[in-house]
Amino acid sequence: MPGSERAAHLLILGGTAEAAALAAAAPRLAPRLAVTTSLAGRTEHPAAIAGRVRIGGFGGSEGLARYLAAERVDLVIDATHPFAAQISAQAAAACAAAGVPRLLLLRPEWPRHPLDRWIEVEDLAGAARVLPQLGRRVWLTVGRRELGVFAGLTQHRFLVRLVDPPGEPLPLAQCDVLLGRGPFNLEEERRILRRHAIEVLVAKASGGAATEAKLVAARERELPVVMVRRPPPTPGERVDGVAAALDWLASRLAAAAGNRKEEVMR
């Protein structure tokens, strides 16, 4: 880490509740710590985030490596979504090239309850393949950009919940749209299943309390859930929550402060 005249600079790769919680808590560890959170820019009105926020892609791992150097980033915490595999791989490559320590914050998977009727599939295409055997009225809890995979299922009626109103027609023949931003509570999810006579749910194994209630509601109604497995995590240092990420940050900052003290005494 650089000389003592400058605060350390932490870059949080965000787009999750954990990233927002980290951005709020990290400065309490060291008042002179500069914290920047990076968002891809997928949502029109992102939730409020403490500290500096930058929005938009970096331009691949080379672009991110250039950003790390230009902004003199000392530490990176990748707190992106478990399915955001591309940015995580790019962060791993960029940090390795730039010699910047990186931590992956990966939230735990949802535990499977004995009464859950999950059909696990490798990817969204796999989910589309199994749907015809499971039911016609489908709640698709996937992102707007991922809906195209289900376009061929013209006999199905889909329900989609989006953060922002869709600017253009969705690529689904029969589709109802709900607007909402998590966290979602159990009563809300029960109501949705009832009102839309949902027969099957499609979910990504994202984990996290904010979107878990839909699984409880589906279990109560004994509905099948097509669960898309997570991509493998990037190798390297990894924790499963905000508290552990703050511990990592504290130990990195303490080690850097120790190094600086030694340099001054030499």
Site residues, ligand NAP (CB under 6 A): 13-16, 38-40, 42, 57-60, 63-64, 80-81, 83-87, 90, 143, 204
* Torsion sign over Cα 94, 95, 96, 97: positive
C-beta of 85 vs 186, nearer to ligand NAP:
85
Q: How far is the CB of 12 from ligand NAP (least distance, A)?
A: 8
Closer CB to ligand NAP, 83 or 118, in the complex = 83
Choose among 8, 234, 27, 189: nearest CA to 100. 8
How far apart are CB 32 and ligand NAP at their closest, in Å?
24
Q: Which residue has the tokens 């990894």?
A: 238
| Residue nearer to ligand NAP on the CB measure, 144 or 252 | 144
Shortest reach from residue 43's CB to ligand NAP, in Å? 8
Q: Residue 82 or residue 256: which is nearer to ligand NAP going by CB?
A: 82
Q: Where does residue 51 fall: left (phi above 0), alpha (psi -120 to 50 degrees), or beta otherwise? A: left
Nearest residue relative to ligand NAP (C-beta): 57
Residues 140, 202 contacting (CB under 8 angstroms): yes
Cα–Cα distance measured from residue 13 to residue 3, given in angstroms and rounded to the nearest whole number: 24
Instruction: Look up tokens 């900052």; give the residue.
Output: 253
Find the shortest distance in angstroms from Cβ 41 to ligand NAP.
Answer: 7
